[in-house]
Amino acid sequence: MKISGFNGGNGIISVNAKLRLEQGWFDGACIRGTDKQFVVSFTGKDADWKGQPLFLCSTRNPHEPRIFRSIDGAVSELMRIGINNVQVIVSEALDIPHQSIVGKEKMKFCLKVRPFEEKDIGTRAYFIPKPDDFERYLQAFIEDIELLDTVEKIIKCDDSLDFIIETQCSKGELVELIQDIYKKHFQYKENIKWSI
């Protein structure tokens, strides 16, 4: 039984891929790409739509394949879905229809962070965080941002709490991604203020 992906397209998010795997529509996956640009498509008797394979996408951008910076990252996501039968093709050509990804211009944005201060008490924090807590949660916050698929690297600026983020997404997209991380951990919200 062939069913399209999101909104009649070929993109499918992880939770729906897991459901189709349980129904027996998928039997494996294929990872294609090179140089920190890997995408996932599915295999099986009902793993295509209108002659094109269904590909793994994100909820933020369901019309384009989700980009993984490494094969290990793609494999880990497939294992969470429940797929162990994986074929890897290392190639410049990504033959799944989507907007150009390989060679997309990299952008640089400055992430400014600071600890909560007295003026912040009563808004999001009820006390001034300890310096050690701020350093610990800041490190975890930066590490979580580095795990984003669209982030190439983060560089700490000397003598400041500024970080340069190299990414392939726009400022608005990056802010949304970081905001999602920030909201999920109350320790971040109680210790860190940030802006781009």
Q: Which CATH class is domain 107-195?
A: alpha beta
The angle formed by the CA atoms of residues 113, 111 and 174, to the nearest 5 degrees, is 125
Query: pLDDT per residue over 42-101, tens digit each?
Result: 999 889 988 889 999 887 677 888 888 888 888 888 998 999 898 888 765 454 444 434
CA 168 to chain centre: 12
Helices (H) and strands (E) in the chain, counts: 5, 11
Sketch the domain layout of the chain as residue ranges. Answer: 6-90, 107-195
CA 143 to chain centre: 13
Q: How confident is the model at residue 153 (pLDDT cuts 50, 70, 90)?
A: confident
Q: Of 5-14, 30-39, 86-95, 130-139, give the lowest mean pLDDT range.
A: 86-95
φ and ψ at 61, to 5 degrees? -140, 80
Q: How far is CA 32 from CA 95, 102, 107, 110, 120, in A?
A: 9, 12, 24, 32, 47
Contact between residue 52 and residue 97 where contact means Cβ atoms under 8 Å apart: yes
CA 18 to chain centre: 18
pTM over cut 0.85: no
| Mean pLDDT score, 105-114 | 84
